[in-house]
Amino acid sequence: MKQTLLTLWKRPFVRNVVIMASGTAAAQAISLALTPIITRLYGPEAYGLMGVFMAIIQTVAPVAALTYPIAVVLPKREAEAKGLMRLSIYLSVGMAAVAALVIILFDKPLVQLFQLGDVAPFLLLVPLVILFSAFMQTNEQWLVRTKQFGVTAKASFLQALIVQGGKAGIGFIHPAATVLIVLTASANGIKALLMLLLTTRYTGDANEEALSYRKLAKRYSDFPKYRAPQVFINGISHNIPVILLSGFFGPASAGFYSIGRTVLSLPIQLIGKSVGDVFYPRITEAEDKGENLTRLIARATVTLALIGIIPFGTIVLFGPWLFSFVFGSDWVTAGEYARWMSLWIFFIFVNQPCINALPVLAAQAFFLKYSIVTVIIRTAALLGGYVLFSDDVAAVASFSVAAALLSLGLILRTLHISQTHH
């Protein structure tokens, strides 16, 4: 047994996953320890308002730099990778300026259209979130490229300590939604700063010739053309339930959904994302060497499925009781939501290798089409549950079942694409 563990540890892929997962585990341990305190201090309504604000920033933040940061891992030349990082930062500054202008000029129509009255005072934080997110993404992808997984792990831990600790600590004095929203808005900025402080500087070859930003933008144009719209649409698809539930059933319903998704996302953050971050450079390397990509993707996917059965199955069986016990009696409905959401988020957990493989498989156009179909079907399912049953749990159940089936379809399609990829 000991020899087997030593053999596994010697494999770079396994070692890097463990390093990433350990830092994420420490961060999630802090969140798990403090969340029961936070939920009791603030209550479902304040948590729901934070959830609505998070829905906004989780939709716009991933496209802060038009997803060019994701391309940082791909170039063979360091000068090209650094050029992509600078391009990403410049684009995010422009995006933040445009967002600020739109919010200032069209504040009232936006609030009325999306029923954002309760979070309207915080909308001007969105441009800052765009900047923070771009800085975090570029730093994170550089660390993935240079395989500094330990730095990412440390930054994740310290970010959780600062943000979650701040929510709990300030909550004892001033338990208001404002505290939750401001700290949530600053989270990516804090992580970006920590990464910058902890990273090992790479000097590289001073004589390396850098491409112009125009040429770089053109060479990696698949990302703004296909990946950015896909990520944006996917963000809408994931976050529209929060806004709709808040509009249909009130902020408390949004709070139940938000805490359910937060808890269910723990395995994704702990293991799924760690595997994905390590898998991305691994499959890029495998493509360069002509390895069997289908086998690589399938093995990673099946492994995650076997791991995911335990935590998600537990929520399906005992969700309401667990949520009531851990977060307080006010949160039992969140456990009912989580039962159904487990079906969907299990497949999000499992499909991390497939999503990371798509850029390497040159399948981003497919992913965009898939995402458009997904947002339509998911939204229709949630609205259908609301119209037919006028019940929040039924609406969440309809959304979750549809989303689970769509994610399963993505896995099967990605495996098929990998078989025909040359």
pLDDT bracket for residue 32 (50, 70, 90): confident
Q: 262 and 370 share a domain?
A: yes
Chain segment 220-277, per-residue pLDDT in tens: 998 999 889 988 988 888 888 999 998 889 899 999 999 999 889 888 776 766 676 7
Domain boundary among 220, 255, 289: 220
Q: 405 and 308 share a domain?
A: yes
Chain segment 7-29, per-residue pLDDT in tens: 555 566 667 767 766 777 788 88
Q: 82 and 58 share a domain?
A: yes
Q: 206 and 240 share a domain?
A: no
Q: 209 and 60 share a domain?
A: yes
Range with lowest mean pLDDT among 10-19, 190-199, 325-334:
10-19
pLDDT bracket for residue 68 (50, 70, 90): very high
Let me know: does 181 contact 53? Beta carbons within 8 Å.
yes
Average pLDDT over residues 382-410: 95
Q: Does residue 333 lie in a domain region? A: yes
Split into its structural domains, the chain has a count of: 2
pLDDT bracket for residue 188 (50, 70, 90): very high
Domain boundary among 193, 220, 247: 220
Q: 25 and 123 share a domain?
A: yes
In order, the DSSP letters of 342-391 are: HHHHHHHHHTHHHHHHTTTTT-HHHHHHHHHHHHHHHHHHHHHHHHHH--
Q: Does residue 8 lie in a domain region? A: no
Among 297, 199, 279, smallest CA distance to 20 is for 279
Q: Does residue 153 lie in a domain region? A: yes
Q: Does residue 9 lie in a domain region? A: no
Q: Does residue 306 lie in a domain region? A: yes
Q: 280 and 161 share a domain?
A: no
Average pLDDT over residues 333-350: 95
pLDDT bracket for residue 334 (50, 70, 90): very high
Q: Does residue 414 lie in a domain region? A: yes
Q: 398 and 417 share a domain?
A: yes
Q: Does residue 271 lie in a domain region? A: yes
Domain boundary among 178, 194, 220: 220
Q: Does residue 2 lie in a domain region? A: no
Among 177, 165, 158, smallest CA distance to 51 is for 177
Among 251, 242, 264, smallest CA distance to 335 is for 264
Give how far the C-alpha of residue 89 lies from the chain's centroid of Cα atoms, to the nearest Å.
20
Among 123, 383, 118, smallest CA distance to 244 is for 383
Which domain, by its residues, includes 366? 231-422
pLDDT of residue 276: 66
